[in-house]
């Protein structure tokens, strides 16, 4: 009796494992979404619960040597007797005529592997090991949550025009990997890498603009301000470190750029404080200091405009009074030495400067910065 039934049983199992005329449905879309979000590839086993070969593969995937590998994938079983099974084959192809169908799909939806029929334990282990090596770092649920929040915060800050805050937001998750080079296919990691790439291009465009403005060999305040802002906001990006370093070396050779850059950095800091509702008083003081230190300059005019926005009249400030009395900061050609004083006259190639305490010093015109020499030439002080 048993011998007669055995061929029938084998024939029945083989028949059930052949490709059915119609296939079945499952939550494949949810699995694909989870794959994109987590950065883990999709592992699909499509078959029948009544198919012995399908059940053998499913049991192999639960073995102690294989189960940890499966956890690195988004794993889903699809019943080929439901509509989703047919959709799965339409999307990922028809690998053969024997069930189960085994697919590995990348986070970008690209089919990486497909197989028809039984797969033994060692074959499955080698497959999953090979594919797992390609997926990069497997982020935990907590890490994904932190990274997703950092990306959202960075996007919001950038939308408000605060690139420095945007970079700072991504720096909160730098322990997960180098900025701009997160080794993960998870959606937040991909988005973070793209943000850094975009900001890098933005920074390079700014540096190119600065180069164009300095092409005639003269320091311009607009160029210095653009460079100061780029340096402040983008210096934390490893992808721009070499560019910023090279730019700094190049700009050192531009006459008076160091002095112009100091003015630009002072204005940038003051504007940053003015943008904060908590630092309005600090900003006003900073703008007043700029007017006092650099009277009759472009930065002083811009600082005065900023003070008006804050509702502060320049003429009523101590700094403005100092500037009105003729005191300003004079600097030497190296930019390392400076003194606040007012010009009293030029004699024998030397400029006579009176400091605020009444002392008088003589400075050779050749020792002055180019900007200060131009001021002396255009507005010579009376004896």
pLDDT digits (tens, 9 = 90+) for 160-211: 888 888 988 999 998 888 888 888 888 888 899 999 999 999 888 888 888 8
Strands 74-79 and 338-347: unpaired
Lowest-pLDDT range, 10-24, 83-97, 281-295, 298-312? 10-24
Token pair recorded at residue 52: 């012995």
pLDDT band at 313 (very low <50, low <70, confident <90, very high): low
pLDDT at 314 (0 to 100): 56
The three-class DSSP label of residue 342 is strand
Q: Average pLDDT of 1-11?
A: 43
pLDDT at 382 (0 to 100): 43
Whether the CB-CB separation of 273 and 282 falls below 8 Å is answered with yes
pLDDT band at 156 (very low <50, low <70, confident <90, very high): very high
Q: Is the pTM of this model over 0.85?
A: no
41 or 296, higher pLDDT: 41
- Per-residue DSSP letter, 159: H
- Name residue 354's beta-bridge partners: 342, 360
Tell me the C-alpha distance between 369 and 331, whole Å.
6
pLDDT at 326 (0 to 100): 67
pLDDT at 107 (0 to 100): 84
What CATH superfamily is the domain 2-132?
Answer: Glutaredoxin (3.40.30.10)
Token pair recorded at residue 234: 């983008």
Residue 328 — φ and ψ, nearest 5°? -150, 170
- Per-residue DSSP letter, 347: E
The architecture CATH gives domain 329-383: Roll (2.30)
Alpha-carbon torsion, ordered 18, 23, 24, 28, to 10 deg: 100
Closest CA to 368 of 292, 256, 291, 275: 256
Average pLDDT, the chain: 82
Angle in degrees, CA 77, 78, 80, rounded to 5: 140
Percentage of the chain modeled with pLDDT above 70? 87
Q: What is the torsional sign of CA 207, 209, 215, 220?
A: negative
67-81, 128-142, 242-256 — which one is most confidently predicted on average? Answer: 67-81
Residue 81 — φ and ψ, nearest 5°? -85, 5
Angle in degrees, CA 80, 75, 31, rounded to 5: 80
Residue 341 — φ and ψ, nearest 5°? -160, 175
pLDDT at 6 (0 to 100): 42
């Amino acid at each position: 009796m048993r011998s007669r039934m055995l061929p029938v049983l084998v024939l029945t199992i083989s028949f059930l494992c052949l490709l059915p005329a119609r296939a079945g449905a499952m939550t494949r879309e949810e699995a694909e979404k989870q794959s994109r979000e987590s950065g883990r590839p999709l592992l699909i086993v499509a078959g029948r619960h009544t198919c012995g070969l399908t059940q053998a593969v499913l049991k192999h995937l639960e073995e102690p040597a294989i189960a940890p590998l499966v956890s690195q994938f988004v794993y889903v079983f699809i019943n080929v007797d439901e509509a989703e099974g047919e959709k799965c084959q339409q999307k990922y192809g028809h690998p053969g005529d024997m069930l189960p169908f085994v697919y590995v799909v990348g986070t970008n939806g690209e089919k990486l592997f497909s197989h028809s029929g039984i797969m033994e334990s060692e074959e499955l282990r080698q497959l999953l090991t090979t594919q797992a090596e390609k997926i990069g770092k497997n982020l935990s649920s907590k890490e994904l949550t932190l990274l997703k929040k950092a990306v959202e915060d960075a996007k919001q800050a950038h939308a408000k025009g605060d690139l420095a805050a945007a970079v700072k937001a991504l720096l909160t998750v730098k322990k997960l990997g180098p900025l701009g080079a997160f080794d993960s296919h998870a959606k937040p990691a991909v988005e973070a890498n793209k943000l850094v790439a975009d900001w890098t291009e933005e920074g390079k465009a700014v540096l190119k603009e600065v180069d164009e403005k300095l092409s005639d060999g003269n320091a311009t305040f607009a160029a210095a301000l653009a460079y100061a802002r780029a340096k402040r906001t983008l210096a934390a990006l490893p992808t721009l470190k070499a560019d910023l370093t090279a730019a700094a070396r190049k700009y050192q050779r531009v006459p008076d750029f160091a002095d112009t850059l100091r003015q630009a950095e002072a204005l940038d800091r003051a504007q940053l404080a003015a943008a904060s509702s908590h630092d309005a008083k600090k900003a006003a003081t900073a703008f007043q200091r700029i007017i006092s230190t650099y009277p009759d300059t472009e930065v002083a005019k811009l600082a005065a405009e900023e003070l008006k926005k804050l509702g502060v009249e320049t003429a009523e400030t101590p700094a403005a009074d100092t500037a009105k009395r003729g005191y300003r900061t004079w600097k030497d050609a190296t930019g390392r030495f400076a003194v606040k004083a007012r010009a009293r006259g030029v004699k024998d190639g030397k400029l006579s400067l009176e400091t605020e305490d009444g002392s008088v010093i003589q400075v050779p015109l050749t020792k002055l910065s180019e900007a200060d020499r131009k001021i002396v030439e255009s507005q010579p002080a009376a004896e």
